[in-house]
Amino acid sequence: MYQGAALGADTDAVGEVVFNTGMTGYQEVLTDPSYAGQIVLFTYPLIGNYGINDDDFESASVKPVGIVVKEACVTPSNWRSKWSLDAFMKERRVPGIQGVDTRAITKHIRSGGVAMGMITDRDPEEAMRDLLAARTYDETDFVEQVSTRAPYAWSYAGMERIDEPGGEHRLRLAVLDCGVKYNILRRFAALGCRSIVLPHTTTADEVLAWEPDGVLFSPGPGDPARLPHVVETARGLFGKLPIFGICLGNQILCQALGGSTFKLKFGHRGANHPVQDLESGKVTITSQNHGYAVDPSSLDGANAAITQLNVNDGTVEGIRALDFEARSIQYHPEAAPGPWDSRPYFVEFVAKMEAMKR
């Protein structure tokens, strides 16, 4: 048990406790759908320095159930700032705690692995009974919670109704929304793509009915093994048009090609994760957010080649299909790591769509 001071909304939070090592980007973390159902601990000691603004949201709502910080900045300084961290969390009804030993909690997670936790001001024994009785993170389908309920479009002007013309664009990209981040859609828009964002339950035939030039399987939260319907959609699209997967999308494509996944002890979340491209030898500095990884041995004999590996622990960071155009990466190229090390993957995929355009 760790005691601290209240931060944000005066409510309880129960979720899987994970840590993020980024020094900046807390607003993006707070609105990243991949953090649904989790309590995020920030290892950097001072969070909220530049406040919260109107421009840097990655989704329409806060996705973590709570946050843990050493110290929350009371007087943020930035010309775009609209809220302090505390004020924003209060407005969005998100609880947090500050003044705790975040280094000690991080070391505990690194040695023991991620576990369920609770933020509360209730009696500790009563709270512990409720925590032990709570549903675990792995038992919940969080993709169902964060995926769009109806199709929408994203073009140069941002989010649009699906029936709007969308202005001039060279390519149409279908996005299977398992928890897509807005900046992924922004990057594709900057490269001339109009994205058609579809619910995660969309079938392969329904995707093809939109006549896209390519398909993206997005990032998202939770256990990839809980998504057989999305895996089946991927299989139904293989060989019909170019496919790209990011993070959870990488795991989905690997399952569709015959692979399997496993849960990491404490995951990869934050900045400065080095990844080596086995085809070029280049090392890319990446931003990551995932708690599961692809089992490399499960791809033996599969119709796939491992193209990238994590330099720190050797986990799979990218694959490509051998007989048709489908590639994926485990990290987040839209998150400006490096800061632009992995932007070329967007460009390369758009070039594939253009080359194969009907």
Which residues does the annotation mark as catalytic?
247, 332, 334
Which residues have C-beta within 8 Å of that of residue 113, sequence separation ≥ 6?
265, 266
Token readout for 73 is: 């900045």
Distances (CA, A) of 49 to 18, 23, 72, 76, 247: 21, 10, 8, 5, 28
Q: How far apart are CA 256 and CA 218, in angstroms?
A: 15
Distances (CA, A) of 143 to 73, 131, 301, 350: 32, 23, 29, 26
Instruction: Select from 33, 40, 50 the least CA-distant residue to 8.
Output: 40
Q: Are 238 and 321 in contact (CB under 8 A)?
A: yes
Q: How far apart are CA 282 and CA 276, in angstroms?
A: 6
SS3 5: strand
The one-letter amino acid code at 48 reads: G
Q: How far apart are CA 12 and CA 37, in angstroms?
A: 13
- Give 247-272 as a 3 state SS string: CHHHHHHHHHCCCCEEEEEEEEEEEE
Instruction: Select from 52, 25, 20, 24 the least CA-distant residue to 39.
Output: 20
CB neighbour class for 313 (10 Å; exposed up to 12, middle 13-18, buried from 19): exposed
